[in-house]
Structure 1
Amino acid sequence: MKKLSLALLFVVSSVAATVAQDLKLPALSPSSKITQEFSTSSIDISYSRPSMRGRKIFGDVVGYNDVWRTGANGATKIKFGEDVMVGGQEVKAGEYALYTIPGNSQWEVILNKGTGNWGASGYDKKDDVARFLVKPTIMPNEVQTFTINIGNITFNSCQIDIMWEKTKITIPVKANNEERLNASIDKAINKPNIPYFQAATYYYETKGDMNKAMEYVNKALAQNPNAFYMYNLKARIAQRQGDREEAIAAARKSIDLAKGTANEAEYKRNGERIIRAMSSKR
């Protein structure tokens, strides 16, 4: 009888353990991952997202002047695929823990080598690789669930926005890629399948050498004479150069070639805007 009871207890315990392993409940602070292409690589962020749940957050749940994990559970991790400037400070490619010290009028942002830390536990200042101040802003509407977003992306800059409750901070990121990309373009131009249009777009968007931009867009058009979007770029380059006749002619050509396409309205609107702007310059 004793052996039977022990056997029954073993079976019940095994079943309970199996049920516990199979039980999946919603997380209070679910994990999230962001992968954003940036410059010639990417930025990856892994973090957990707590919600307000009727609580006062900053100055209460998250204390002022205390090191915070910038989320929940393990420390928030951020990985840069190339060397960048973060908050005006040089940061090498690699993965870091993203800590913050919230304050009423300013926050301190910290990138730290302690990526294996659980929350702020184990944080050591000597492992900091960057530390800088940012000003928080007050948003008109509450963000119920802690959110990190990467936006305002250009060829060489972006911003990381951290938002919760009505508080938002913005972390500026810049890639020092101009010299490297210029060299890459010069190298690519001397190979088959020359990316003239991409090169022209790059110089225009980065406000670089407009003479090179015009040279490359003209070469792209020689290969693609009916590309209305290329004529639109040519019009914008000529506008920036102050070449009234060239800008208007290219804008009109773009509008004409775009007729009957799905993009007709957009390119008509863009072209007419350039024509109006340049017509006033005599």
Structure 2
Amino acid sequence: MTIVAQAQFTNLPSGDNKRATVSEGVGITQVSINYSRPGVRGREGHIWGGVVHKGFANLGFGPSKAAPWRAGANENTTITFSTDVKIDGQPLAAGTYGFFVAYDPNESMLIFSKNSSSWGSFYYDPKEDALRVKVKPVTLDKSQEWLRYEFADETPSSATVMLEWEKLAIPFKIDVDLVATQIASFRKELRGTSGFIWQTWHTAASFCEQNNTNLEEALLWSDSATSLGTGGAQSFQAWSTKAGILDSLGRNQEAMAAMKKALPYGNVNELYFYARTLAHLRKGKEAFEIFKMDYDKHPDEFITNAGMARGYSALGDFKKALGYAQKALAQAPDPVNKDRLEKMVKTLQDGKDINS
């Protein structure tokens, strides 16, 4: 009896074309490209327009009679986006796509196909196209033996993908809406186990406050962050963020009430840096009150002496400020703080505000 077994078998890839994956984060979006890497192998000058056929061609196999290049070797080259993106300014939904190139030396066409599971481009069907983008190939200074994909020109919300082989590169730019994708992620994750602790609600609310966006929903998130149920009812961070959101919404009285709730829960550093913000905003009286509260809780410590120096300076009393600055200088815990306090002392001796 003869038994024929069909199974996956681990061996070298066909044609010795190296299998590869490259992945990069663009904002919170993960971009992954899976492909096989053919080599030039002495075919210099015959890759583009030869090994890589121009435009669409009948490959002599499969149903496609007008197939683009598979943008690699062996199996389909695929590209995955974890969120919605834009490719050279055109929208493309999150997902995994077969990636093809209709090469032309002047203007190549990139094709993102909904079919990501077929072998190469033998089964390419234009009806399955999700997006087509035209780009201009770029000449490389140095020949690239093995085809590769690289990420370049990266910013927090964009990156350029470079398909490089022999002496040519085909680039395309990926853009993400950093704020929109982050907020969408918050909405999704807060519905799961992340929503049981105040820190995650606070992180989401704080992101919106800092970016001055989605404030009405952010206020609801801050309600959860400051609730007994999530454990944030005594969090300075949660209450101060809520105060900031209310202030941005123009609800100033409510913002002040929320900040009053925050103050008793602030630690020495939180109160100090909140007071510094007030001083920087030229709210001298309010800043002094917080610096004094911090000092009364933690008297004669380095940071609270420095705070009192800033508080009196904000009120214009440079003489009293100088006394506290000198005390803080004597307590400086490291060279960096010592240098900073020495400059503060000199500024106060010159009769100038150290909060400017």
TM-score by length of 1: 0.59
Q: Which runs of 5 or more residues in structure 2 are unaligned?
A: 57-67, 187-203, 209-217, 226-231, 239-268, 274-334, 339-356
Alpha-carbon distance in structure 2 between the residues aligned to 1:163 and 1:70: 10
In the alignment, which residue of structure 2 is the partner of 1:64? 54
Q: Which has the higher contact order (CA 8 A, sep 6+)?
A: 1
In the alignment, which residue of structure 2 is the partner of 1:112? 113
Alpha-carbon distance in structure 2 between the residues aligned to 1:44 and 1:24: 22
Tell me, what secondary structure is at the counterpart of 1:126? helix
Tell me, what secondary structure is at the counterpart of 1:178? helix
**C-alpha displacement at 1:46, in angstroms?**
0.5
Higher percent of residues as strand: 1
Asked if 1:79 corresponds to 2:80, the answer is yes
Asked if 1:39 corresponds to 2:27, the answer is yes
**C-alpha displacement at 1:173, in angstroms?**
0.7
Query: CA-to-partner distance for each residue in 1:164-189, whole Å, 9 max, x for gaps?
Result: 01101211111123345479403499
Alpha-carbon distance in structure 1 between the residues aligned to 2:10 and 2:33: 29
Supply the AA of the counterpart residue of 2:29. Answer: S
Tell me, what secondary structure is at the counterpart of 1:65? coil
Q: Which runs of 5 or more residues in structure 1 are unaligned?
A: 1-9, 11-16, 196-221, 227-255, 260-282
**C-alpha displacement at 1:143, in angstroms?**
0.4
**C-alpha displacement at 1:35, in angstroms?**
2.1
- Shift of the 62–23 alpha-carbon distance from structure 1 to 2, 3 Å rule, reads closer
Query: CA-to-partner distance for each residue in 1:138-162, whole Å, 9 max, x for gaps?
Result: 1111001001112322221111111
Larger radius of gyration: 2
Q: How does 1:1-282 map to 2 (within 5 A)?
A: 28-55=16-43, 56-66=46-56, 67-179=68-180, 181=182, 184=204, 185-186=207-208, 187=218, 190=222, 191=225, 223=270, 257=336
Supply the AA of the counterpart residue of 1:133. Answer: K
Query: CA-to-partner distance for each residue in 1:1-26, whole Å, 9 max, x for gaps?
Result: xxxxxxxxx9xxxxxx9xxx787689
Task: State the identity %.
Answer: 25
**C-alpha displacement at 1:125, in angstroms?**
0.5
Query: CA-to-partner distance for each residue in 1:176-215, whole Å, 9 max, x for gaps?
Result: 23345479403499446859xxxxxxxxxxxxxxxxxxxx
Supply the AA of the counterpart residue of 1:41. Answer: T
Tell me, what secondary structure is at the counterpart of 2:16? coil
**C-alpha displacement at 1:223, in angstroms?**
4.4
Alpha-carbon distance in structure 2 between the residues aligned to 1:142 and 1:24: 25
- Whether the 8 Å CA contact 2:105–2:136 is kept in 1: the answer is no
Number of residue-to-residue matches in the alignment: 191
Supply the AA of the counterpart residue of 1:154. Answer: T
- Shift of the 225–71 alpha-carbon distance from structure 1 to 2, 3 Å rule, reads farther
**C-alpha displacement at 1:38, in angstroms?**
2.1
**C-alpha displacement at 1:37, in angstroms?**
1.9
Alpha-carbon distance in structure 2 between the residues aligned to 1:57 and 1:77: 21
Tell me, what secondary structure is at the counterpart of 1:119? coil
- Whether the 8 Å CA contact 2:13–2:19 is kept in 1: the answer is no
